[in-house]
Structure 1
Amino acid sequence: MSDPSDLIDFDALLSAEERAVRDSVRSFVDSDIKAHIGQWYDKGVFPLEIVPELARLGLLGMHLEGYGCAGRSAVEYGLAGAELEAGDSGLRTFVSVQGSLAMGAIHKHGSQAQKAQWLPLMAAGEAIGCFGLTEPTAGSDPAAMTSYARRDGGDWVINGTKRWIGLASVAQIAIIWAQTDDGVRGFLVPTSTPGFTATPIEAKLSMRASIQCDVELVDVRLPADAVLPGAVGLSGPFSCLNEARYGIMWGAMGAARDSFEAALAYSKERLQFDKPLAGYQLTQQKLVNMALEINKGFLLALHLGRMKDAGRLAPEQISVGKLNNCREAIKIAREARTILGGNGITVDYSPLRHASNLESVRTYEGTDEVHTLIIGNKLTGIPAFR
């Protein structure tokens, strides 16, 4: 499958297996998503009916080993994420929350019993998970969280609030991070537990074909074995966030590529002053600049993906990919909209929808500012977060 934006024969850098994974996800998005996504976005719904197909394609926890997971490489996971986000950021977000965050937390930090109970169900799409870290007053600074889990005999009791928690209202299991006397710990909380309430956040201007929620925990009582034994302190949730951030650098470029393709196709068909828009120098300049950044963004993602597969990817390098590719993708989506003129503000065309979604994507899993400071700390050796 050739990409109109591919100026450098990017496919030559991929293996046959990597191309096959990408092409299978692209085919699914083209056949099952693109004809409907505008209406889903307009109505503010995420199509839960596609979850079985996401599972069948092996996309849920696809980079994890065992327990029914596909065990794919980091590059394959990234390529799949790019194709999902070419459909809509909400699709890649679902796979990220389910696989990188919720399943990733259990896989990295859970007990054997916790893994055996939940991971096969989640890989099969028979159970949905969510990841509760962010709070109303603790976003970029999760150490400021006020949710607290106290011991009560042999049980844990959690009280607190979380905000912007993806999938919480449709999840069966929640990974909730809370302060304890021994530092931040993660807990497996079945969403049917008394005192757990998830309320979808509505009237959004971004990520409309996606589910984000407020979560309230009031005297949520859990058994002793609900705690994730392998996670003590913020390094636990941060290790999961790095997985999600890695996927974003690919996904953002998928949204950018789809925006470019929509603008390119429109510019060839739309006549203005008796010739196609594509025949004008200013339009060609826009298209060239977009294509250049898409090629560079995918090369960056691929390089970092190869490093991740080799076990050499550092957190600040993930920040390089996330910051650069989100920043460039949103510029591309906005520029693509200008080629579409007034028609570009309708749901019939993808660029403005992508641009709106990318406002959220550049904010979650670390804002532009946070990733700038992470990279700045690496360059100078001076942390400037406070």
Structure 2
Amino acid sequence: MLVSAEKAMPEAQKPPVFDPADPLGIDDLLSEDDLAIRTTVRAWTADRVLPRVAEWYEAGELPEVRELARELGALGALGMSLTGYGCAGASAVQYGLACLELEAADSGIRSLVSVQGSLAMYAIHRFGSEEQKRQWLPRMAAGEAIGCFGLTEPDHGSDPSAMRTRARRDGTDWLLSGRKMWITNGSVASVAVVWARTEEGVRGFLVPTDAPGFSAPEIRHKWSLRASITSELVLDDVRLPADAVLPGATGLRGPLSCLSHARYGIVWGAMGAARTCFETALDYAKQREQFDRPIGGFQLTQAKLADMALELHKGILLAHHLGRRMDAGRIRPEQISFGKLNNTREALEICRTARTILGANGISLEYPVMRHATNLESVLTYEGTVEMHQLVLGKALTGLDAFR
């Protein structure tokens, strides 16, 4: 006699109730520590970011950046996956979960953390001298000192090998001249990690922002990442001592490895923005009535929600997979490009679809959808445009270099 699979299944093996917030049961892959970190960061954003972020975004400012940095330092979120020097030593997956929760609040807040930890602190931790690490990392981990990372230039974004910023020797000192553009945290930083061309190749320098000849005018009139501080760095014969250079990095591999670490955080973070927009659209669809019933009951709306859920949770699974590979020491830059390309592209599409479900309300700051969508327009192209990551993967697949 045949019986249904469900009837034949022992009581203890029956599947759990379907959870719309976690339809694939991804939380089963997380440890208690992982979940605790996620809960802590989510609670902090609910208390400190969500009540004010629409106001910050509308004003185009982040007025409490130093206070927020110290609070994030107290949480252990700055340089989170680094070890020693006051850093938390968390796993890559735990760092990713934090990035997801931060960007679920706003991409600008996640950018503050990413630039501090994955770019500035990571560069010092990996390439700095012991003296440089002791001087900067503990204060940066605590949020007492903010860092920025100067690689992109006004005329050279995707092609850093063409940078014009120069560092030349003057006795035992260095003189730095040039400009960097689109630098997160630039005007509030205490130290700038600046990459410049030298006779020996591209080198990294730790530039105290109070050094004569250094300035960081803030970039205004942005329509994206408005709750984030973005600056230009101007270096006019900034004199630095010999020990300002990062001794462990010569050539572009140094800054590019920092970018890979930061891109990994974006793989997770983009899914945070997407999750907020999906959850907003789902809640709205169950409450908004047209033609005498909730719009969530119409086939076209349900098709949109189903497709959004598919891409959201596939993206989270991809981020989790890459995190496990990073924790195992088996991650490759091409795999991070895979994640960054897919998740930013799909996150933006989720936000755009959510906007259509909300209709006219989708453009209002009373809802987070348009804010996340405009932020993701920047996240889509910074730290590697769509086209550059496509070419990274194209080269990996074919063995042929199409960059030039």
Could you state the TM-score of these two structures normalised by the residue count of structure 2? 0.94
CA–CA separation in structure 1 for the residues paired with 2:45 and 2:354: 20
Change in CA separation of 1:225 and 1:3 when aligned onto 2, cut-off 3 Å: farther
The correspondence of residues 24-63 of structure 1 with structure 2, limited to 5 A, is 24-46=40-62, 47-48=64-65, 49-63=67-81
3-state SS, counterpart of residue 174 of structure 1: strand
> Which residue of 15, 39, 59 maps to 2:31?
15
Question: 1:192 is matched with which residue: 195, 210, 221?
Answer: 210
Match of 1:71 in 2: 89
* Number of residue pairs aligned between Structure 1 and Structure 2: 385
Secondary structure, in 3 states, of the residue corresponding to 2:237? strand
Deviation digits for residues 280-303 of structure 1 (CA, Å, limit 9, x no counterpart): 111111111100111100000000
What one-letter code is carried by the residue in structure 1 that aligns with 2:376? L
User: Is contact 1:6–1:291 with CA below 8 Å preserved after alignment?
Assistant: no
What does 1:139-288 align with in structure 2 at a 5 Å threshold? 139-288=157-306
CA drift of 1:215 comes to 1.1
Q: Counterpart of 2:339 in structure 1: which amino acid?
A: G
State the AA in 1 paired with 2:355.
R
Q: 1:115 aligns with which of 127, 133, 158?
A: 133
Q: Measure the CA separation in 2 of the matches of 1:39 and 1:4.
A: 30
Are 1:133 and 1:176, in contact at CA under 8 Å, matched by a contact in 2? yes
Contact persistence 1:101–1:244 (CA under 8 A): yes
Aligned to 1:90: 108
* Counterpart code for 2:61: V
Give the whole-Å Cα distance in 1 for the aligned partners of 2:297 and 2:53: 30
2:117 aligned to which of 89, 99, 118: 99
Counterpart of 2:262, as a letter, is A
Deviations, residues 200-233 of structure 1 (Å, cap 9, x unaligned): 1101010000011111100100000000000100
Deviations, residues 298-354 of structure 1 (Å, cap 9, x unaligned): 000000100000000001000000000000000000000111111111111111111
- State the distance in 1 between where 2:273 and 2:58 align: 18
Contact 1:4 1:261 in 2 (8 A): no
Distance 2:198 2:48 in 1: 45
1:344 counterpart residue number: 362
Normalising by structure 1, report the TM-score: 0.98
Tell me how far 1:31 sits from its aligned partner.
2.2
Q: Does 1:359 align with 2:338?
A: no
Match of 1:314 in 2: 332
RMSD of aligned C-alpha atoms? 1.0
Q: C-alpha separation between the residues in 2 aligned to 1:189 and 1:31?
A: 34
Q: Which runs of 5+ in 1 are unaligned?
A: none
**What SS class does the counterpart of residue 183 from structure 2 fall into?**
strand
- Whether 1:375 aligns to 2:375 is no
Cα distance in 1 for partners of 2:322, 2:124 equals 25
Which deviates more from structure 2 when the two are superposed, residues 336-345 or residues 46-55?
A: 46-55
- In 1, the alpha carbon distance for the partners of 2:22 and 2:306 equals 11
CA distances 1:239-274 after superposition (whole Å, capped 9, x unpaired): 110000000000000100000011111111111111
For 1:314 and 1:286, how far apart are their aligned partners in 2? 34
Residue 177 of structure 2 aligns to a residue in which SS? strand
Q: Distance in 2 between matches of 1:33 and 1:222?
A: 38
What SS is found at the alignment partner of 2:187?
A: coil
- Percent identity over the alignment is 62
Counterparts of 1:97 and 1:215 in 2: how far apart (Å)?
Answer: 15
State the Cα distance separating 1:4 from its structure 2 match: 3.7
1:3 Cα shift? 7.2
Where 1:218 maps in the other structure, the secondary structure is strand
Q: Within 1, Cα distance between the matches of 2:120 and 2:69? A: 16
2:3 matched to which residue of 1?
Answer: none
Q: Is the 8 A contact 1:5 1:260 kept in 2?
A: no
Which consecutive segments of 4 or more residues in structure 1 shift more than 3 A?
2-5
CA-CA distance at 1:277 after TM superposition: 1.3
Q: C-alpha distance in 2, partners of 1:374/1:186?
A: 24
